[in-house]
Chains A and B, each alone.
Chain A
Amino acid sequence: MRKHLLSIDDLSADDMQTIFETAAEMHDVQRRDVKKLPALRGRTVINLFFEDSTRTRSSFEIAGKWLSADVINLSAKGSSASKGESLRDTVLTVTAMGVDGLVIRHSASGAAQQVSEWVSCPIINAGDGTHEHPTQALLDAYTLQRTLGSLEGRHVAIVGDLTHSRVFRSNVKSLVKLGAQVTAVAPPTLMPSGVATWSKEAGFTTAYDLDEVLAGAHGSVDAVMMLRVQRERMSGAYFPSAREYTVGYGLTRERLGTLREGAPILHPGPMNRGLEIAADAADAAQSVILDQVSAGVAVRMSVLYHLLAGPTEGVTP
């Protein structure tokens, strides 16, 4: 496994399976009375969040703590960054305290990669702009694998605001790597630029018509991943109204009825109930949205363990 987890590109399919196997063990720890493993005892992990995210931050925090690491949350939003301090200075200041691993969330694409070039400790990307969110994709794939078994040949439809989604970018890479077939569905305005060439090279397909996809135009759909769509996109002229979006791309009660029985429904959260996903779909028996959250801790424990438990060159002040 590579030193950092900046992108799904850093992982091979074998690496992913290793992470999943460990995550399965971590999942058991979650159910124990004593939710603690000593693997990262004495190690310090800093959650450096330049962008608000309660769920991802707490997921990493719990993961680190259950592995006995000292976890410190630093919210850099509105602090030094807004005072004009450069990203490099902020990060060097933080790591100068003596840190064994940095978990970074930033609203700018590429931030985690840039940081990895400035510091010597392992960097885990907890979401960078609209680029990647690798641990989300890992927990999604882990959840899918627990539900569907091997993803080889399975067909996953990813639906929503693809262009602004780091979850999409990481997921399309991880699912293709695990042998799944991916159909990415969005209106043309929410497709990433140049997706025609990209999809051809990366081995996924795109579609504008969700109903056709669910009806099997690209093969029977084994799982549906709904992505959050932000209401402010309407002011950017990406689509006319919430109503029109739901009719075209929402997982409505009607569409829920067309899904194969037991086909898992995923959503990275937070959900806009009634916009991209109907309450019936979110709460359906086949919805694995809460399993995703619980898998999140296990997968992040696994990632922290594999990146930080072994020999690392910590940053010494």
Chain B
Amino acid sequence: MPTQIPVEDGRVVLDAEDVSRALTRISHEILERNKGADDLVLLGLHTRGVPLAQRLAAKIEAVEGATVAVGSLDVTMYRDDLKSQPTRTPHRTSVPGGIDGKAVVLVDDVLYSGRTIRAALDALSDLGRPSVVRLAVLVDRGHRELPIRADHVGKNLPTARTEKVRVRLEETDGGADEVRITGGAQ
């Protein structure tokens, strides 16, 4: 019987400074791609995408001096695995100013199968009609199951399916930011 791997096991692939640097780079990429901060809406996906979107917005504001709309998107009701697990209480979806005609950047911590993003795209279409939708993730660990790719990636992280990528953020988990890979080689 394999022994349980404690959460603190594994190896750190991004520390707090790495996370900060990645977000700074992404914020610049977003501005560059959008040609400024006009009509930009950053939508964080629950749970860890929400503080990441807020941090990105803060960095963009620091650069541009203009406020950026930032909101949160809950995709619980849009998931394709609803019927196979106990129901979860949905989180708050909030889109200040709406998304019609806006450039929406979806923000999440880890891109994996792509199913969450698929659900997010469905949720978006029920909320309005953005002019463009882009995707920013802190980590892309591969193993896509749908034709989805990220526009902005903090770090590409080749992983085995047996491994787990754990993201910890100050806002949601307490303590310093870090991304860690655990499990895998049993």
A contact set with B: CB distance below 8 Å: 18, 21-22, 25, 28, 32-34, 36-39, 67, 305-306, 309-311
The interface of chain B, by Cβ under 8 A from chain A, is 74, 76-78, 82-87, 89-93, 122, 125-128
* B127 partner, pick from A32, A38, A309, beta carbons under 8 A: A32
Contact A25 B90 (CB under 8 A): yes
* CB closest residue in chain B, given A68: B77
CA A28 to CA B86, docked complex, whole Å: 23
Are A25 and B93 interface neighbours, CB within 8 A?
Answer: yes
B86 touches A310 (CB 8 A): yes
Within the complex, the shortest CB–CB distance from A262 to chain B, in Å, comes to: 26
Can you list 10 A-B contacts (CB < 8 A)? Answer: A22-B90, A34-B126, A37-B126, A38-B77, A38-B122, A67-B77, A305-B87, A306-B87, A309-B82, A311-B83
Q: Chain A residues near B93 (CB, 8 Å)?
A: 25, 28
Q: Which residue of A lies closest to B92 (CB)?
A: A25
Q: Are A21 and B89 in contact (CB under 8 A)?
A: yes
Contacts of A33 in B (CB 8 A): 128
Chain A nearest Cβ from B17, distance in angstroms: 36
Shortest distance between the CB of A69 and any CB in chain B (Å): 12
User: Is B86 a contact of A305 with CB atoms below 8 Å?
Assistant: no
Distance between Cα atoms of A22 and B74 in the complex (Å) = 12
A residues near B84, Cβ cutoff 8 Å: 311
Is chain A's binding surface mostly helix, strand, loop or mixed?
loop
Contact B74 A25 (CB under 8 A): yes
Beta-carbon contact of B86 and A32 below 8 Å: no
A22 vs B77: C-alpha distance when bound (angstroms): 11
Known A22-B89, A25-B92, A311-B83: A32·B126 in contact at CB below 8 Å: yes
Contacting residues, chain B, for A21 (C-beta < 8 A): 89
Inter-chain contacts of B87 with A (CB < 8 A)? 305-306, 309-310
Q: In the docked arrangement, what's the CA distance between A33 and B86, Å?
A: 29
**Bound complex: CA A25 to CA B74 (Å):** 10
Contact in complex: B127, A34 (CB < 8 Å):
yes
Chain A residues lying within 8 Å of B128, measured Cβ to Cβ, are 33
Q: Measured between C-beta atoms, what is the minimum distance from A117 to chain B in Å?
A: 24
Measured CB to CB, the nearest residue on chain B to A26 is B90
CB pair B85–A18 under 8 Å, yes or no, is no
- Quick one: closest B residue to A20, CB to CB? B89
Interface hub of B78, B83, B85, B92 (most chain A Cβ within 10 A): B83
Q: Which 6 A-B pairs have the closest CB atoms?
A: A39-B77, A310-B87, A37-B77, A34-B126, A25-B90, A309-B87
Residue of B nearest to A1 (CB): B87
Q: Roughly how many angstroms separate A147 CA and B100 CA in the complex, as a whole number?
A: 32
The docked-state distance in angstroms from the alpha carbon of A310 to that of B82 is: 6
Report how far A39 CA is from B128 CA in the complex, Å: 18
Q: Which of A18, A34, A38 contacts B78 (CB 8 A)?
A: A38
Q: How far is the CB of B15 from the nearest CB of chain A, in Å?
A: 35
Report the separation of the CA atoms of residues A310 and B87 in the bound assembly, to the nearest whole angstrom: 5
